[in-house]
Structure 1
Amino acid sequence: MQLADRLLPLQANVFADMDQAKARAIATGQTLIDLSLGSSDLPTPPHVLDAIAAALIDTATHGYALFHSTQPFRLAAARWFERKYGIAVAPETEVLPLIGSQEGTAHLPLAVLNPGDFALLMDPGYPSHAGGVYLAGGQIYPMPLLAARGYLPVLEAIPAAVLAQARMMVLSYPHNPTAAVAPLAFFEQAVAFCKAHDLVLVHDFPYVDLIFSPGHAPSVLQADRQRQVSIEFFTLSKSYNMGGFRVGYAIGNARLIQALKQVKATVDFNQYRGILRGAIAALEGPQDCVDTMVETFCSRRDAAVQALHQMGWAVELPPATMYVWARLPEPWAADSVRFCTELVEHTGVALSPGRGFGKSGEGYVRLALVHPPAVLTAAVQKIAAFVASRK
């Protein structure tokens, strides 16, 4: 049996290797403290669950959910965005429901790229961004993100030959894995750059609410108010702890929304309408649950960073997201996969190796703050003991 060549770039998966290492740790009796996955451990707000539960007995929700039936959700998403950013968008032509934002970022390259076209991706960056490009037959130009530049790409460093063949740029701030936040001025620069080079500007925005300073994380649509080149992806997985419900949406340029809608219509319908009713309740209901979520992750961040500093690990205080991005000490800096594999097998503490996020991620690990402060502190103590034992 022969399989498609497009699967070849998807075969190497650092996170699959880590799953095997976690399984070995459990098999040897280790108690697993899993800080490798950015899956919130917080509960979905009760008013969201109530809306979904009430929909279960409504037989009108039991059929296929075609685009027209998603209008109430699209209206809610448009209203939410206007309340947050003061920008009105058209729910019929500029908003599209998604089965999680990852569905959108993975499918959009099919609508934008022809085989051989380049996509400009962040390095390090979220792995599924690359997967969507490979499935579309595209090429990837990695834009290195360095601490010295605030983890922002240097757009002027992209070679002219690549730009001549490029069709899209993907950004995502607040950033996974580095937790960096981009200023609005950078988005304005990126929009101007994409206009000048006829690029689609994609902004993956799952951590829109998970920022620890006053104010809002900037939206790329603040820099592209007419939606000339941009599309932005949102999810309810982080802000409302709805990861398992798989609900997100895109807002942006009407042509891009229509193109993504065409791809989506070939692959699936939409979620169960009861889930969309829950999503409406999340977007339009009380937002104190979001404030509580942010406060919870902020306290976890503080506990984890304090513990890391006490062990002598000079990590920066993350301004956003649910992650700590930590540079590995010697002699581990050249092999983050080896460090993470041996750490989980000897201590039960699982981290994400930086190499899994791209070449520029090597030498780092990512800690997901998905446990209470006491557990995070205990995990860091185990890490400290492991590092000390290997000196």
Structure 2
Amino acid sequence: MQFADRLQGLQSNVFADMDRAKEQVKSTGMSVIDLSLGSSDLPTAPFILEAIAQSLADTSTHGYCLFSNTRDFRETVAAWMHKRFGVTLDPESEILPLIGSQEGTAHMPLALLNSDDVALLQDPGYPSHYGGIALAGGQAYGMPLLAENDFLPVFADIPPATLARAKMMVLSYPHNPTTAIASLDFFKSALQFCQQHNLALVHDFPYVDLVFNGKPQPSVLQADRDRQLSIEFFTLSKSYNMGGFRVGFAVGNRQLIQALRQIKAVVDFNQYQGIMRGAITALNCDLNDDFQGDRHPIAQVLQTFESRRDAMLTALAAIGWQIPTPTATMYLWAKLPDRYAHDSVKFCLDLLKSTGIALAPGSGFGKYGEGYVRFALVYPPDILQAAATQIGAFFAQVD
């Protein structure tokens, strides 16, 4: 049996290797503290679940959910974007429901790239961004994200020959895995660069709300107010702990939205309408004065991850592992000790087999992620602190 060449770009990766290693460790009876996956352990708010539950008895929600059935959701998104970012969107042509933002990043390249066209991606960056390029038969160029540049790409460093073949640029801030944030001025410079080189500007924005400095993160549409060439993807997975419900949306340039809609039409329908109603209820928190301050469910998510961040940083500092304080996301991006500086996979495998603690190796996010590991803060502070103590014992054992 012969398979398509595109599968070559989707071969097993370091995360698949780590998953196998976790299963092997579990099979020995050792418990695993899995800090490698960014899947929130927090529950969806009861009032959101109630909106979904009430839909179950409504038989009109039991059929296929076509685009026309998502009108209420798209109008809610339009109101949310206007209140949140001051951006006015047409619900019919500039908003598209998604089955999580990952659907957008996976399908957008199919609409933009021909064989051997280039996409400019972040390195390190989210692995599914690279997977979408492979599915489209395109070529990925990783823009290095370095600590000395605040983990922002330097557009002037992109080779002219690469730019000549490029059709799109994918950015994501707050950034996974580095936890970096970007300013509106940065997005304006990215927009100008994309205009100069006729690139679609794609921004993946799952961590829009997970920012601890009190300063709202900008939307790329605040830089591209006329929606000339930008599209942005949002998800309710992180802000509202709805990862399992797979609900998100795309906003932006109407031609890009239409192209993505064409791809989506032959791949899937939308979510169950009850899930859409739950998402409307969630987004309405930002439009309802009753949910201001500490009563807002996002405020509770922020407080939780900020306390976990601080607890883990303190515990790691106590074992001699100093890590910069992240301004955003649910992660720590930690530079490895010199002994493991060139082999993050070996560090993670050795640590897992010795302690049962699973981290994500930086090399899994790209060439420039080597020398780092990512902690996902998906356990309460006491478990995180215990994990740090075990890591300290591991360091003492291997030194």
Which TM-score band (shorter chain)? over 0.9
* Aligned mate of 2:344, from 324, 333, 336: 336
Please name the residue that 1:321 is paired with.
329
**Mapping for residues 298-309 of structure 1, pairs under 5 Å:** 298-309=306-317
Deviation at residue 183 of structure 1 after TM alignment:
1.0
How far is the alpha carbon of 1:215 from its aligned partner? 2.3
Distance 2:30 2:83 in 1: 48
Equivalence for 1:358: 366
Structure-2 residue corresponding to 1:241: 241
* Whole-Å separation in 2 of the counterparts to 1:126 and 1:212: 21
Q: Distance in 1 between matches of 2:231 and 2:271?
A: 21
Q: What's the CA shift for 1:315?
A: 0.7
Q: Give the equivalent residue in structure 1 for 2:392.
A: 384
SS at match of 2:266: helix
* Amino acid of the structure 2 residue aligned with 1:123: D
Q: What secondary structure is seen at the aligned counterpart in 1 of 2:232?
A: strand
Is it true that 1:76 corresponds to 2:84 in the alignment? no
Q: Could you list the runs of 4 or more consecutive aligned residues of structure 1 that deviate by over 6 angstroms after TM superposition?
A: none
Q: Does structure 2 conserve the Cα–Cα contact (< 8 Å) formed by 1:25 and 1:346?
A: no
For residue 34 of structure 2, what is the aligned residue in structure 1? 34
TM-score normalized with structure 1 length: 0.99
2:360 & 2:378 partners in 1: Cα distance? Answer: 13
Q: 1:120 touches 1:142 (CA, 8 Å); kept in 2? A: yes
The equivalences for 1:42-61 within 5 A come to 42-61=42-61
Percent identity for Structure 1 against Structure 2:
63
Write the letter of the residue equivalent to 1:9.
Answer: G
For 2:338, what is the secondary structure of its paired residue?
A: coil
Give, in whole Å, the separation in 2 of the partners of 1:330 and 1:148: 18
Kindly provide the amino acid, as one letter, of the partner of residue 377 in structure 1.
Q
Give the match for residue 13 of structure 2: 13
For residues 254 and 9 of structure 2, the distance between their equivalents in structure 1, rounded to whole angstroms, comes to: 31
1:95 corresponds in structure 2 to: 95
Aligned to 1:292: 300
Cα distance, 1:12 vs structure 2: 3.2
Specify the code of the residue in structure 2 equivalent to 1:284: N
- Cα distance, 1:308 vs structure 2: 1.2
Structure 1 residue runs without a partner (length 5+): none
Q: CA deviation at 1:141?
A: 0.7
The size of the alignment, in residue pairs, is: 391
The one-letter amino acid paired with 2:103 is: E
Q: Distance in 2 between matches of 1:259 and 1:81?
A: 21
- The reply to whether residue 166 of structure 1 matches residue 174 of structure 2 is no
RMSD across aligned positions (CA): 0.7
Q: Determine if contact 1:48/1:282 at 8 Å carries over to the other structure.
A: yes
TM-score by length of 2: 0.97
Where does residue 270 of structure 2 map in the other structure?
270
1:230 maps onto 2:230 in alignment:
yes
For 1:195 and 1:295, the matched residues in 2 are separated by 39
Contact kept, 8 Å, 1:55 with 1:274, in 2: the verdict is yes
Q: In structure 2, which of residues 338, 350, 353 is the aligned counterpart of residue 345 of structure 1? A: 353
Cα distance in 2 between the residues matched to 1:16 and 1:116 = 27
Pairing partner for 1:311 from 300, 303, 319: 319
> Match of 1:244, as an amino acid?
G
Moved more, 87-96 or 281-290: 281-290
Secondary structure, aligned partner of 2:342 = coil
